[in-house]
Structure 1
Amino acid sequence: MTDTPASPAQRPTVVYVHGIGNKVRPELLKSQWDQALFGKDMGDASRMAYWASLRYETPLPDFRSDPLDGGPDSAAERVGPHGAEDPEEFILHTLGEAHFEAGERSGESPPGSVPEDTLTGWLRDMVYLADTLAESGHDEGPGQGEEPLLEVLPLPRPARRAALRLLVQLTFKDVYAYFFGGDGPAIRDVLKKALDGLDGGPLVVVGHSLGSVVAYEVLAELRREVQLLVTVGSPLAITEVQDRLARPPAVPSGVLTWRNASDLRDLVALDHTLRPEYAPADRITDLLVTNDSENHHNITQYLANRHVSEPVQRLFH
């Protein structure tokens, strides 16, 4: 007796939701995620909820790496003079830029002061942790009797700080625009459209960075059955982010299993456990994984980790 092939209605689909910053064109981005997660292009078995075009006029060139993945040249270029500021000055500049952009997009005047209930606490924690990590490597090597310190990024110290501050700056600006700049509904609509027309087979949703927030809010609203929700490098455990969610933290009712993975050095995650706040806790597995990209937030490194990839791959076999 032979196994009966699965009908199209039974085949699983994975829907990706990308994170912060500009990206390459959507078809290429989907293929890159497919290759990292499955080792091959998945064709119509995967979809990308591509929202970068709502915030960035043109995609990145095909062969340019995402500047948010780190790198001394792109970091120094994008951060510019802010990289030399002390943490509090950097925070003020980043807040000012986020407020101005939010005001432009919403059609309102930028606020004159920062409300206490915004994301400023998270921003402050990110900045100080970024500077701490940037200082946590010996450029000259340990002296006699000293233990080698963690080499956080394989870059000279000024470039490490620039790379980490770039991640902080652009993360905060995109998250701020999502919650305060009027971009949230349109970004969520992109994911809703990607979920439309699926054939009813097992559904996997993978959200990275801010994409995990988008995935969470859409699934909580739609209550759609999801066999597996995967979040990587997610800020959903951050109190300031939870305070801005449309609904109190809880596992979306349709999500059967939720795996949340982060690297301890990932500034965007910052808090790494969802289970204490998102009930029922038995549906969530929090995982600490290794992401050895230059800023420990890179999506390819997360998707290629076996603790992330193997549960997804099993549903497609």
Structure 2
Amino acid sequence: MRPRVVYVHGNGNKVRPELLKSQWDTALFGRDMAEASRMAYWAPVRYPEPLPDFRTDAPAGRPELVEELVEEMPARPDRAGAEPPEEFVARTLDEARREAGGTGLEARAGTDESALADWLRDMTYLADTLALSGEQDEPGAELPLEALPLPRTGRTALFRLLVKHAFKDVHAYFFGGAGPAMREVVKEQLDGLDGGPLVVVGHSLGTIIAYEVLMEQAREVELLVTVGSPLAIAEVQDHLARPPAVPAGVAAWRNASDLRDLVALDHTLRPEYAPEERVTDLLVTNDSSNHHGISEYLAQHEVRAPVQRIFDGAG
């Protein structure tokens, strides 16, 4: 039986599902995979309409929306032209609470949002540090290779948009009642597969959703691939339904991240997710504008090669 791959996308709104699937196919395989791939498209749980085809969401790693982002940032007297980090953290947390219906009463029993708020704070400070790292101290000074070709205000706005989307969607997953519907989308895409070798690929929040579904189902998966994942972060692990472990049916797990990725922050799943011999943590270079872009992750040799071996071996 032929291999199949199921994708689970990450934070933020997306283009229509068939286009998104084709983009992931192209990045990972270099071609459209037709019926061999499926996209677990949970965006409608959070967003009423998909993005237009010509727009790319900034959390995916491209700065098409920078002008709008800069306009969103309130004018402040500090050098960045943006509100101080603690004010941004407080405002983002308040917005997430309002979207969740208030106080997080729909959260899983025994958990609260304080740990997740620590993750939000850490992401925000790292975002501002990355924005500052691209600032020219002297006229004519060369920018670091990873710096965005934007004024610092634009870089700050772009990085903080990633922070906001990542946190608010994760908050909605754990506290806003969105988790069951997101997981159901993944289950629907896994249902009806013919029993051939299965690869599951998740990005960002999609790694949490995919992981929890696989923990629940114990489905046989030849390879689980997570990129830009927050699963290694203690504050996220505190909110998982089950203690961290490799899902029972997963034969191998490859986890890739860029050291500059705000969402990942912690880059090592081993040994929290036992048995650790099934897990391979990889540090890769993601040169998208926010170092979190999905196409750049999927194009990495360390990510593509094991997936392609499964498909080539079945040919």
Q: Please, what TM-score do these two structures have when normalized by structure 1?
A: 0.90
Q: Tell me the residue number matched to 1:81.
A: 74
Measure the CA separation in 1 of the matches of 2:13 and 2:301: 27
Confirm or deny: 8 A CA contact 2:212 2:240 kept in the other structure: yes
Name the amino acid aligned to 2:116: L
Q: Tell me the residue number matched to 1:126.
A: 123
Name the amino acid aligned to 1:15: V
Q: Tell me the residue number matched to 2:177.
A: 182
Alignment of 1:41-80 (within 5 A): 41-70=32-61, 74-78=65-69, 79-80=72-73
Measure the CA separation in 2 of the matches of 1:120 and 1:200: 40
1:207 corresponds to 2:202: yes
Name the amino acid aligned to 2:42: W
In the TM superposition, residue 64 of structure 1 has moved relative to its aligned partner by 1.0
Identity of aligned residues (%): 69
Q: Tell me the residue number matched to 2:242.
A: 247
In the TM superposition, residue 67 of structure 1 has moved relative to its aligned partner by 2.1
Describe the SS at the equivalent of 1:206: strand
Cα 1:218/1:140, change in 2 over 3 Å: same
How big is the alpha-carbon RMSD for the aligned residues of Structure 1 and Structure 2?
2.3
**Equivalent residue for 1:268, pick from 263, 269, 272:** 263
Post-superposition CA distance 1:178-200 (Å, at most 9, x none)? 00000000000000000000000
Describe the SS at the equivalent of 2:281: strand
Q: Tell me the residue number matched to 2:272.
A: 277
Q: Tell me the residue number matched to 1:5.
A: none
Alignment of 1:125-144 (within 5 A): 125-139=122-136
Measure the CA separation in 2 of the matches of 1:201 and 1:73: 39
Name the amino acid aligned to 1:213: I
Alignment of 1:16-31 (within 5 A): 16-31=7-22
**Equivalent residue for 2:96, pick from 95, 98, 102:** 98
Unaligned runs of 5+ in 1: 1-9
In the TM superposition, residue 157 of structure 1 has moved relative to its aligned partner by 1.2
Q: Tell me the residue number matched to 2:288.
A: 293
In the TM superposition, residue 66 of structure 1 has moved relative to its aligned partner by 1.7
In the TM superposition, residue 313 of structure 1 has moved relative to its aligned partner by 0.5
In the TM superposition, residue 201 of structure 1 has moved relative to its aligned partner by 0.1
In the TM superposition, residue 80 of structure 1 has moved relative to its aligned partner by 2.9
Measure the CA separation in 1 of the matches of 2:257 and 2:97: 29
Deviates more, 1:154-163 or 1:169-178: 154-163
Describe the SS at the equivalent of 1:16: strand
* Residue correspondences, number: 302
Post-superposition CA distance 1:263-301 (Å, at most 9, x none)? 000000000000121001100000000000000000000
Measure the CA separation in 2 of the matches of 1:105 and 1:121: 17
Q: Tell me the residue number matched to 1:7.
A: none
Confirm or deny: 8 A CA contact 1:224 1:254 kept in the other structure: yes
Alignment of 1:135-174 (within 5 A): 135-139=132-136, 151-174=146-169
1:35 corresponds to 2:26: yes
**Equivalent residue for 2:225, pick from 230, 237, 244:** 230
Measure the CA separation in 1 of the matches of 2:10 and 2:73: 23
Cα 1:26/1:105, change in 2 over 3 Å: farther
Q: Tell me the residue number matched to 2:214.
A: 219
Measure the CA separation in 2 of the matches of 1:27 and 1:307: 26
Describe the SS at the equivalent of 2:44: helix
Name the amino acid aligned to 1:58: E
Name the amino acid aligned to 1:22: N
In the TM superposition, residue 72 of structure 1 has moved relative to its aligned partner by 5.2
Name the amino acid aligned to 1:80: M
In the TM superposition, residue 70 of structure 1 has moved relative to its aligned partner by 4.6
Confirm or deny: 8 A CA contact 1:203 1:227 kept in the other structure: yes
Q: Please, what TM-score do these two structures have when normalized by structure 2?
A: 0.90
Name the amino acid aligned to 1:135: L
